[in-house]
């Protein structure tokens, strides 16, 4: 069976040459993962072939571009996307990509999204967390959302490092420690809940209604939203808790898509099927932070009808991203 994965990360050390020393000093270390992130056609491709993964949609792991101003951000994003396209060009069946965007300059980000879609066939863009503390419902980001809707490509909202104020208030001084607790702040809880908040903000701000062609993807089995589905749908009624003109359930089933990235247990998947629906769920690994074998074992052990399994494995992604 054809298998497509959407939240698969890459990072290229050679791009550091275009960054000022101040950013390099503050960069969060990728540690032992850096070699795996930089690799495209070695271990990564071999692992895909060994596990039967047909296509990875690659996205840039770091958020250096968010720290650059205006034209510098636009130039850096363009160089990164050009390099990513160059690295995958000889394997079009195995790789495609989500663009990295200079989101600090929204008009330039919209233009870069269009350039990568039309020039390289990129399938949308990934935006990681807040942009210097701002969420995508802020009016200044309208050009990005409008252009994505016009192009018919999705925006993948991935968790990012919380703003320092949030880290100080919620994730620091745990017990007798003095610094932040990274596990609570990021991969253990915090950035998943923040992504759910990001989506609810877009709903309450009326963004989904303003851009009915906009498609948003989130990972990690829906970033906690399926668990809160019934309660949130009851709270976010049209005209009650925001500017949304449709119910949460109707809006999300039409415009929100989730992936399985990094969560490989059946109960969260069944909850997602029961809430957002089988047509809105796509398979992902979170490579290299999760292994392809972990994902494949999960997929192979699912007790689902063949037609549902095919939708998760590739049909939904093929339809949303226009894959052949």
- Only one residue has tokens 């399938």, namely 123
Task: Show the 3-state SS of 159-194.
Answer: CCCCCHHHHHHHHECCCCCCCECHHHHCCCCHHHHH
Calpha distance 54→317 (Å, rounded) = 12
Calpha distance 199→12 (Å, rounded) = 29
pLDDT number for residue 27: 67
Which DSSP string corresponds to 243-291?
S-SS-HHHHHHHHEEEE-TT---HHHHHHHHHHT-GGGEE----TTTS-
Q: Which of 242, 225, 283, 233 is closest to 57 using CA atoms?
A: 283
Calpha distance 25→212 (Å, rounded) = 41
Calpha distance 190→171 (Å, rounded) = 8
pLDDT number for residue 29: 65
pLDDT number for residue 100: 97
Sign (positive or negative) of CA dihedral 129, 133, 139, 142: negative
Phi, psi of 20, deg, nearest 5: -70, 155
Question: Could you tell me how many helices (H) and strands (E) the chain has, helices first?
Answer: 16, 8
Calpha distance 203→232 (Å, rounded) = 11
Instruction: State the DSSP code for 30.
Output: -
pLDDT number for residue 38: 96
For the chain, domains (ranges, CATH) are: 4-158+189-321 (3.20.20.140)
pLDDT by 10s per residue, the chain, length 324: 999 999 999 999 999 888 888 777 666 666 778 999 999 999 999 999 999 999 999 999 988 898 898 899 999 999 999 999 999 999 999 999 999 999 999 999 999 999 999 999 999 999 999 999 999 999 999 999 999 999 999 999 999 989 999 999 999 999 988 889 999 999 999 999 999 999 999 999 999 999 999 999 999 999 999 999 999 999 999 989 899 999 999 999 999 999 999 999 999 999 999 999 999 999 999 999 999 999 999 999 999 999 999 999 999 999 999 998
Sign (positive or negative) of CA dihedral 116, 208, 228, 321: negative
Phi, psi of 60, deg, nearest 5: -75, 130
Answer for the pair 106, 41: CB distance below 8 angstroms, yes or no: no
Q: Cis peptide leading into 87, omega within 30 of 0?
A: no
Say what the pTM is: 0.96
């Amino acid at each position: 069976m054809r298998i497509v994965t959407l939240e698969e990360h890459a990072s290229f050390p050679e791009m550091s040459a275009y960054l000022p020393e101040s950013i390099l000093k503050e960069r969060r270390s990728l540690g032992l993962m850096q070699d795996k992130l930089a690799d495209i056609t070695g271990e990564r491709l071999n692992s895909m072939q060994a596990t039967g993964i047909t296509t990875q949609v690659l996205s840039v792991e770091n958020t250096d571009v968010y720290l650059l101003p205006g034209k510098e951000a636009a130039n850096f994003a363009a160089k990164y996307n050009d390099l990513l396209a160059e690295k995958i060009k000889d394997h079009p069946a195995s790789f495609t990509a989500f663009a990295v965007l200079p989101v600090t300059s929204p008009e330039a980000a919209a233009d870069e999204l269009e350039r990568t879609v039309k020039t390289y066939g990129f399938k949308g863009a990934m935006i990681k967390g807040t942009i210097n503390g701002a969420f995508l419902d802020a009016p200044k980001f309208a050009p990005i959302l409008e252009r994505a809707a016009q192009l018919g490509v999705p925006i993948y909202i991935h968790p990012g490092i919380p703003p320092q104020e949030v880290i100080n208030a919620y994730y620091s001084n745990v017990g007798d420690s003095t610094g932040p607790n990274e596990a609570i702040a990021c991969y253990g809880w915090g950035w998943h809940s923040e992504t759910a908040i990001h989506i609810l903000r877009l709903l309450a701000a009326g963004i989904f209604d303003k851009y009915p062609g906009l498609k948003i993807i989130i990972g990690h089995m829906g970033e906690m939203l399926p668990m809160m589905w019934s309660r949130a749908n009851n709270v976010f009624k049209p005209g009650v808790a925001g500017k949304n003109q449709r119910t949460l359930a109707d809006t999300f089933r039409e415009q929100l898509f989730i992936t399985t990235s990094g969560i490989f247990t059946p109960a969260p998947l069944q909850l997602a099927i029961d809430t957002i629906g089988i047509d809105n769920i796509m398979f992902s690994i979170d490579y290299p932070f999760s292994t392809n074998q972990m994902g494949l074992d999960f997929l192979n052990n699912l007790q689902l009808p063949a037609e549902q399994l095919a939708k998760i494995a590739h049909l939904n992604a093929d339809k949303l991203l226009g894959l052949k």
